[in-house]
Amino acid sequence: MSTRRTTRQQQAVSSILERHGDFRSAQEWHALLRESGEAVGLATVYRTLQTLADEGTIDVLRSPAGEAVYRACSSGGHHHHLVCRRCGRAEEIEAAEVERWTSATATAYGFTDVTHTLEVFGRCADCS
């Protein structure tokens, strides 16, 4: 059976992601946890984030610099993000038009098993 244990560390990771609404790297979350007194090993932070991402509980994307950044999103479904490249704050956006367009285009070119990435970066109102 799937023995999924609930450990203090995993809860600490989930919890801190929920308290902040920003995209941050594993290392940054690790640092935040340490500051908040809830120390968790770096390896465990990586493992937990990966597990949560695989489950679809949190979202991952790659920052323009190429690092993976993670965030707890409210919507469980497929969506994209409008991310402030200064402070990491993000808005979740849905793009039915874009979904339709990409899948139609891919099909027109004979591609199968299609996925896509779409992220919008900018400076949010507060950071302007």
Partner DNA sequence: CGGCGACATGAGAATGAGTCTCATTTGCTG
Partner DNA sequence: CAGCAAATGAGACTCATTCTCATGTCGCCG
Chain residues that interact with DNA, rule: CB under 7 A: 3-10, 25-27, 39-44, 46-48, 50, 66-68
Distance of closest approach, residue 35 Cβ to Zn ion, in angstroms: 24
The binder of a copy of itself chosen from 62, 75, 78, 87 (CB under 8 A): 62
Asked if residue 87 binds a copy of itself (CB under 8 A), the reply is no
Site for Zn ion in 80-119 (CB under 5 A): 92, 99
The CA distance from 36 to 16, in Å, is 9
The binder of Zn ion chosen from 59, 69, 70, 72 (CB under 5 A): 59
Contact between 86 and 123 under an 8 Å Cβ cutoff? The reply is yes
Q: DSSP string covering 11-71, please?
A: HHHHHHHHH--B-EEHHHHHHHHHHTT----HHHHHHHHHHHHHHTSEEEEE-TTS-EEEE
- What residues make contact with a copy of itself under the rule CB under 8 A? 62, 66, 68, 82, 84, 91, 93, 95, 97-98, 101-102, 105-106, 109-125, 128
